Amino acid sequence: KALRILHRRSELSVKFMQCAFRSRLLSYPLLTSVLTRRMSTTPLVTVSPGSTIGWIGTGVMGKSMCSHLIKGGYKLVVYNRSAEKTKALEELGAKVVTTPKQVAEQSSVVFTIVGYPKDVRSVILEKDGVLEGLKPGSIVVDMTTSEPSLAKEIFDEAAKKGVAALDAPVSGGDIGAREARLSIMMGGTQEAVTAVEPLLKLMGQNIRLMGPAGSGQHTKMVNQILIASNMIGVVEGLLYASKAGLNLDETIKAVGAGAAASFSINFLGPRIVQRNFDPGFFVEHFIKDMKIAVEESKRMGLQLPGLDLALQLYKKLEEMGHERKGTHALMLALESMNNIPSKF
């Protein structure tokens, strides 16, 4: 009975804080601080090899990232909307279940990396979602590139249940995922980061807490804005080199060792030359990310013409039917604009 009374008081206090936030009596950072203090009364889980970890989303990136945890000695419970994409992980020893809630019920930490914000909302917040299954003290880590506002909403809803939440999008593409050298940018609390750090170190090398909930997603927007304009430069540069009669492989080696060096030219440039447009990151997902960045920029009162141009070019690529190719397939759109016959 005493526990029920305490739980009811806690629910009422959270509802009061939400009303205060809506009426502008509390700023978001202050509300986050209060919710965090409430959450911190429940000790967070500790993990070590042998712990059961949940994983939702086993696509191009997720499959490799999840496999590193299995190889690191952790027991994995996995869910993916397309069950056939879990078979490789099942062969490594993962247990496959049929709902996100079932993943959460059996796990102390749950990672999600899915396609779109609507998918994040579905697997975490909605019926049979992660928050229905996690116990107090557990942690949910969303590694999808998603909306900062949704990351804040997840943090708040998780805190009501005594659960910690981190928004932790990644950068490094399929290569970084396979080689466990992703950059992981997070929003949330240091306590939650510390609790899951042994897991993060199995997936990435550059692990940073950027601030409160939503900060990881804002940092990923910076990442995507940089990549968007850079990719235009890469394909334009290679088009120029081709027209000038240069050896493209040698050109990449020359400029990739100087001030023009970037992941895009050094790692994706050779794929362009080989006409290999298999996805390390899907065009359709990159368009989603750029749309989020455009909306966030408008909300801040910013004009970002480079980002706007990149979004227009990628939309053209999508119209050409290449939405499931990698981001470096932008070359196909530029070739079309220049009436250059595609060799693809």
Residue positions annotated with a catalytic role: 220
CB atoms within 10 A of CB 91: 8
Task: Report the run of H or E that residue 77 belongs to, with start and end.
Answer: strand 75-79
Is beta strand 170-171 parallel, antiparallel or unpaired with respect to 182-187? Answer: antiparallel
Is beta strand 164-167 parallel, antiparallel or unpaired with respect to 75-79? Answer: unpaired
Task: Report the run of H or E that residue 61 belongs to, with start and end.
Answer: helix 60-71
Could you please report the per-residue DSSP string of 306-337? HHHHHHHHHHHHHHTT-TTSBGGGHHHHHHHH
Q: Are the C-beta atoms of residues 204 and 170 closer than 8 Å to each other?
A: yes
Q: Say how far residue 294 (Cα) sits from the centre of its chain.
A: 17
Q: Is 234 exposed, middle or buried (0-12, 13-18, 19+ CB in 10 A)?
A: buried
Rounded Cα–Cα distance for residues 221 and 292 (Å): 8
Place of tokens 């099942």: 90
Rounded Cα–Cα distance for residues 263 and 267 (Å): 6
Q: What one-letter code names the amino acid at 173?
A: G
Q: Say how far residue 78 (Cα) sits from the centre of its chain.
A: 17
